[in-house]
Chain A
């Protein structure tokens, strides 16, 4: 008898059924075609709760192939609980190779960071996005924010930036600094630090953003201009550690974590765990560094 192999495994390759993947891929194509524009998508149920990376997972599972090498980062670390859980889940659902090495991965899912090491044409970075709407802080109503995007009416966002300057004396805005993509759409870069924002612009890799709870996908294609919002006289700046070096690698020029030890002493450590490993093990990997304006 001819065996039906279809039901031999409990799940389809990469968990999602093929029709769902196709729907998500179509939405990704649209997102790539209109850089920075938020494309609504189905956001199907997953075996993890929304808000725990379902958007990133949808994209990863929809585009992953058997030859891909996967890396999952959570706030710069490959080893945090969330990074491990997601990596193991995708590994079990696809059988793909996994890696910690930013240069060796073909597909990287991330939360809150862009790897320090330059990503190439061979790589795709998938962001998990909690709040895709950059205008949400100035406008509560979705119908209004959509109109504002449609008409490129971003004055309120600018005013909130002006207000931040008036209140704090600089354009300080922790994570999720607003950016304009391709001279058109204002976009939330997801809660990455300002340090990572310049790396969005003119990159060689493809950036995909998935917001599962909010059911939105958007993208920054390779070699796209991404400008952080700034005024003529008040400019965008990345975080500055004023020459502080990493306690483990004795090197600077990377996003540093501030860590308090049990004896309440404090030290700074390179946040990107793979980058830190490489700094300690050998030559410094290639990096794009942003110069703050004078």
Chain B
């Protein structure tokens, strides 16, 4: 399949002004591609730059150098340099970041948290809520939690809501950071099946996971990072 993303010479440097301008070189000249319908795993020890790389792809971190050329529905765009408004639009419709922790607006019921991205993409409220219920059922989230506020949920419950919110909207490019960290084996597989279903519909996914089972089942190719550099590319 065609490449959805082509990353060339991506580098990230943090300059900490409050520490007298200390410079941290987090990523050095990274090159790789992600194809449509591909799940790319990012591996490496803590501090190797996996999360930094993910955040650069999402533009939460501003890349210092290099290009991230993304084939959006309206043509190629360099995410490293794109106008903020273009990024906001892409985040609304095509690119989703699913972090390790649930960062949702407080005081919104779980169902609405999951339905919201779908509504933003033009679904009716009923359609969106139906999709959210379906996802919760598949992830076996107890029904009494559906109308409760996720802020008070356990780690595993929050994680499921996080996944459901990310996957239900069917992004073209999904960034997944530790999707199964605090889940039991059965739920883990439910999450994995959901992600695979998204991939089968042509979505491209970048994945970070310390869980070997998750990584093995999902990633068809792995990028192993060491100290901010790609050390090797492993094909499954």
Is chain B in direct contact with chain A in the complex (CB below 8 A)? no
Name B residues whose Cβ lies closer than 8 Å to a Cβ of A. none
Name A residues whose Cβ lies closer than 8 Å to a Cβ of B. none
